[in-house]
Amino acid sequence: MTLSPSTRRTVRFVVDYGGLIAFLVGFFLSGRDMIEATKWLVAASAVALLIGLVVERRIAPIPAISGGAALVFGGLTLWFDDPVFVKIKPTIMNLLFATGLLGGLALGKSPLKMLMGSALQLPDEVWRKLTLSYGLFFAAVAVLNEVIWRTQSDEVWVLFRMPGLPLLAVAFSLSQVPLMMKYAKTDEPPPPPPPG
């Protein structure tokens, strides 16, 4: 099946953000109940992954990891009836991304180039700078998530989670565009990273 560009964008949006949007809606419709909101998150994440698989005949690695983590941490939240699991998911996922990027960099590799090198041709030094920047960004987001869920109300944390984290990721990615465009051999900047 051949998809139009707008259909493809819609499917990707649903796969990337459907679970988080459902979580946000479920939280407020349930009277700010984290367990009920997590049920919405788990159901919507499963549906979003299924839609991605059926429509695109594959699930891209990052949405698969993110959606799978939503199912795992959401499932733990429901199993133990404890929202701490869904709250620590962004911390763990962002720490994993940071460790992968910064660890690869320490080993002389550029994981970001391996992930996105076909979409954007940049000198190795720029890939190293971007890898360091994104690695530090993911680490900072992990710390920020811990501070917010431990010190703020559930409502504040839910709004931080969605739309806060995706907006933060877009803003950070936009801040990296001048560096990429200065050295890019293509006019297409890479997409922003997914929310943890």
Q: How far apart are CA 165 and CA 106, in angstroms?
A: 27
Q: Is residue 46 classed as helix, strand or coil in its secondary structure?
A: helix
pLDDT, residue 191, reads 58
Task: Evaluate if residue 27 carries a pLDDT over 90.
Answer: yes
For CA atoms 143, 103, 13, 72, the dihedral sign is negative
Q: How far apart are CA 91 and CA 94, in angstroms?
A: 5
Task: Evaluate if residue 192 carries a pLDDT over 90.
Answer: no
Q: What is the mean pLDDT of the chain?
A: 91
Which residue intervals of the chain are DSSP H helices? 5-29, 34-56, 61-80, 84-106, 111-116, 124-151, 154-159, 165-183
CB proximity list for 34: less than 8 A, separation 6 or greater: 27, 77, 83, 86, 154, 158
Q: How far apart are CA 50 and CA 62, in angstroms?
A: 15
Q: How far apart are CA 82 and CA 98, in angstroms?
A: 26
The 8-class DSSP code of residue 196 comes to -
Task: Evaluate if residue 196 carries a pLDDT over 70.
Answer: no
Query: Which pair of tokens denotes residue 182?
Result: 């200065």
CB-based contact 117:128 (threshold 8 Å): no
| pLDDT digit string, tens, across residues 139-163 | 999 999 999 999 999 999 999 999 9
Task: Evaluate if residue 62 carries a pLDDT over 60.
Answer: yes
Instruction: Write down the domain spans for the chain.
Output: 1-81, 83-196
User: pLDDT grade, residue 185 (50/70/90)?
Assistant: low
